[in-house]
């Protein structure tokens, strides 16, 4: 079920279901790449989300999935935060590399698409586990990266 948007809010042309091949956005060291993003698009190329509830669903889905798909350390300390692995070892101060975690997503009634979340990866010196520095900080950055994604996809702003 696609959105009930029949005409483009910018130019009033008819909107049709389309797919954006690749859309990327970044917020700090966190980057998000969407492949095959379902949208509504007019003949002039203006785009809108495939459904009026799509972006809210995507925000929630990305937060929930990133919490389970991307392992992350825990921050401790008030002023000077240090990050620790679940095994108790302190994570190094600098990432080892940049890692990409892929997710297959599907919103009811529109084509499935892929999301790739790119984050700095830290290797625990104690157990060797690769992980993001902080799962909590990663989840906290999701709303900002989804807002950047709206801009990158060319979606209109509301309000």
Over residues 105-157, the pLDDT tens digits come to 999 989 999 999 999 999 999 999 999 998 888 888 888 999 999 999 999 87
Tell me which of 2-6, 10-14, 72-76, 133-137 is least confident: 2-6
Cβ–Cβ under 8 Å, residues 133 and 90: no
Residue in 53, 47, 55, 22 with CA at minimum distance from that of residue 36 = 22
DSSP 11: T
Tell me which of 44-53, 60-69, 122-131 is least confident: 60-69
- pTM of the predicted structure, to 2 decimals: 0.82
Cβ–Cβ under 8 Å, residues 96 and 142: no
Rounded-to-5 percentages of helix, strand, coil across the chain? 20, 40, 40
């Amino acid at each position: 079920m696609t959105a009930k948007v029949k005409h483009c809010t910018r130019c009033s042309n008819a909107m049709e279901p389309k797919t954006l091949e690749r859309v990327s956005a970044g917020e700090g060291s966190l980057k998000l790449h969407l492949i095959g993003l379902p949208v509504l698009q007019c003949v002039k190329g203006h785009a809108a989300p495939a459904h009026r509830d799509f972006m809210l669903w995507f925000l929630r889905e990305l937060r929930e999935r990133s919490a389970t798909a991307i392992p992350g350390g825990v921050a401790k300390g008030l002023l000077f935060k240090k990050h620790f692995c679940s095994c108790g070892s302190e994570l190094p101060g600098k990432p080892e590399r940049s890692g990409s975690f892929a997710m297959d997503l599907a919103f009811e009634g529109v084509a499935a698409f892929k999301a790739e979340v790119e984050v700095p990866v830290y290797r625990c010196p104690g157990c060797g586990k690769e992980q993001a520095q902080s799962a909590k900080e990663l989840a906290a950055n999701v709303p900002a990266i989804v807002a950047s994604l709206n801009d990158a996809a060319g979606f209109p702003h509301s309000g």
